[in-house]
Structure 1
Amino acid sequence: MKLTTEQIEYVENYIISKDIKWYELQVELTDHMVTSMEGFWEKNPELAFHQVKQYAENIFVGDSSFKSIEKQRKRILQKEYRKVQWKMITEYLKFPKIFGSILLVYLAYTFSAYFVSPQKYLAVLFCPLAIVGLLYVHYWRKSKEIEGKYFLTLETLNPTLLVFSFPSLGMSITTQLKEELLQHQWLVLFFCCIWVLGILFSITAIHLQKKTIENVKKQYQLT
């Protein structure tokens, strides 16, 4: 027995009432619930609508809850995102792209010679990375909502921790290693490598975000 449009809307609103605000989860959970309910109803047509809904929910959700399914899905998405991003970053560390990364490290290290204080140079080096990070976070906040709909897939791309970790790491450690930076030039080279790694993380994060937004719009036919 097929559910009517009104019944499907009731199931959808019921799922939303469980504090599920992510559109793709609303669609997916509704589809699963409706399919399960129709299966129950086909076997037991004498059951009432709310009985079928409860049976379907008990089997689909079990001892957990809709929010636990959301948390589990978020962990899976985060794991997949990190895996894809690391794969993209390693491509920049392989032949032939590694030459571009090495060139960036070389240029960054060469420019350090124009600064009397290595500490000031590294501060100048990492500050723009923080500014780019702020712009990226602003873009993420604007783009995670499409046509009034929120997507867990886009929420998972939250770059806040990533974009500020490299600038804060670079500037805080260089402050502590003020004397060591003057005595050991290899430390400056090391922080130049950290800076390039931060750039690679930012580039891959921006690329993944744009690609993910395009895929979401295409999948759900949004503009």
Structure 2
Amino acid sequence: MNRTITQEETEQLFQFCRRHYVYHYDVQIELVDHLASSIEEQWKQNPELSFDEGLKNAFKKFGIYGFSKIKKQKERELKRKYNRLLWKYLVKFYRWPKVITTFVSTLGLFLLFQVIEKSIWIIGSFMLLLFIGVILYHFLIFKKAKLEAIPGKSFLLVDQYSRVTQTYSVIAQLPNISFQTFNILGLKSIENIWILLGLSFFMVALTVFLYGQFFYVPQKIKEHFLEQFAEFAL
């Protein structure tokens, strides 16, 4: 009968990961699985090999920066995964039947540009509304619905959830950027219909993107976390 990793040895592997600066539990699980498989594979060849010696041999395969590389790889995988989810969400608004809502919104905004002479006020008001919306979202929604793990446990998924706040600083600058651009160009209004149509398309697309970034993606991350680590959620 082949020798297998015991529960006590599994805990030692988790401690080993923590000693090597891997603090995210979801990354630790993956590393522990790799290490345990490697040790058990060695035991098939040499059943008398000690656990410590097997662990030392297994760790050598990762190299000096092996653990940090796996952590970065995991971060990239998560980022790509949720970027793909966001992209799929955005594309839905330009496919039937949601494209009707997107088209009507874009057309309505374009007609508004035709009615109001000073385009700067429409663009500035839109950016200001986005800024106010982000502030309200942060204090009234995000903080209350925040994903948190029990004390003593760190998760890469939780960090990914919290990263939506990184968009705040960009949104906060949009009203200022808009007015500065108009001032530099010496414009108060835009008369070219193609530019106005492009602006209308961009403003609607930006709204859809931000809704997906602040509501859809965080909800998906939360669902995935609860599916995998429900016992660690607060």
Which range, TM-score by smaller chain? Answer: 0.7 to 0.9
Classify the secondary structure of the residue corresponding to 2:189: helix
Aligned residue in 2 for 1:121: 122
- Per-residue deviation at 1:101? 1.1
Of 148, 153, 156, the match for 2:160: 156
Partner Cα separation in structure 1 for residue 97 and residue 170 of structure 2? 28
Aligned residue in 2 for 1:143: 146
Aligned residue in 2 for 1:172: 177
- Per-residue deviation at 1:91? 1.4
Q: Is the 8 A contact 1:88 1:204 kept in 2?
A: yes
What is the TM-score normalised by the length of structure 2?
A: 0.79
Q: Could you list the runs of 5+ residues in structure 1 that have no partner in the other structure?
A: none
Classify the secondary structure of the residue corresponding to 1:56: helix
Partner Cα separation in structure 1 for residue 166 and residue 83 of structure 2? 13
Partner Cα separation in structure 2 for residue 167 and residue 107 of structure 1? 25
Code of the residue aligned with 1:143 in structure 2: it is K
Q: Is the 8 A contact 1:109 1:192 kept in 2?
A: yes
Partner Cα separation in structure 1 for residue 230 and residue 190 of structure 2? 59
2:24 paired with 1:22: yes
Classify the secondary structure of the residue corresponding to 1:220: helix
Partner Cα separation in structure 1 for residue 201 and residue 157 of structure 2? 31
2:203 paired with 1:195: yes
Classify the secondary structure of the residue corresponding to 1:146: coil
Give me the identity figure in percent: 21
Instruction: Tell me: CA distance 1:96–1:40, structure 2 relative to 1, closer, same or farther (3 Å).
Output: same
Question: Which structure is higher in RCO with an 8 Å CA cutoff and minimum separation 6?
Answer: 2
Aligned residue in 1 for 2:10: 8
Aligned residue in 1 for 2:72: 71
Classify the secondary structure of the residue corresponding to 1:77: helix
Partner Cα separation in structure 2 for residue 141 and residue 29 of structure 1? 33
Partner Cα separation in structure 1 for residue 132 and residue 53 of structure 2? 55
Q: Is the 8 A contact 1:91 1:97 kept in 2?
A: yes
More deviation, 103-112/82-91 = 103-112
Q: Could you list the runs of 5+ residues in structure 2 that have no partner in the other structure?
A: none
Partner Cα separation in structure 2 for residue 37 and residue 48 of structure 1? 9
- Per-residue deviation at 1:71? 0.6
Partner Cα separation in structure 2 for residue 75 and residue 163 of structure 1? 21
Partner Cα separation in structure 1 for residue 144 and residue 29 of structure 2? 23
Instruction: Tell me: CA distance 1:146–1:113, structure 2 relative to 1, closer, same or farther (3 Å).
Output: farther
Aligned CA RMSD, in angstroms, stands at 2.9
1:191-214: per-residue Cα shift (whole Å, max 9, x none)? 332221121112222212212211
1:60-106: per-residue Cα shift (whole Å, max 9, x none)? x2353211111111112212222221122111112221111122223
Partner Cα separation in structure 2 for residue 140 and residue 57 of structure 1? 40
Partner Cα separation in structure 2 for residue 51 and residue 188 of structure 1? 69
Q: Is the 8 A contact 1:112 1:121 kept in 2?
A: yes
Aligned residue in 2 for 1:83: 84
- Per-residue deviation at 1:143? 2.9
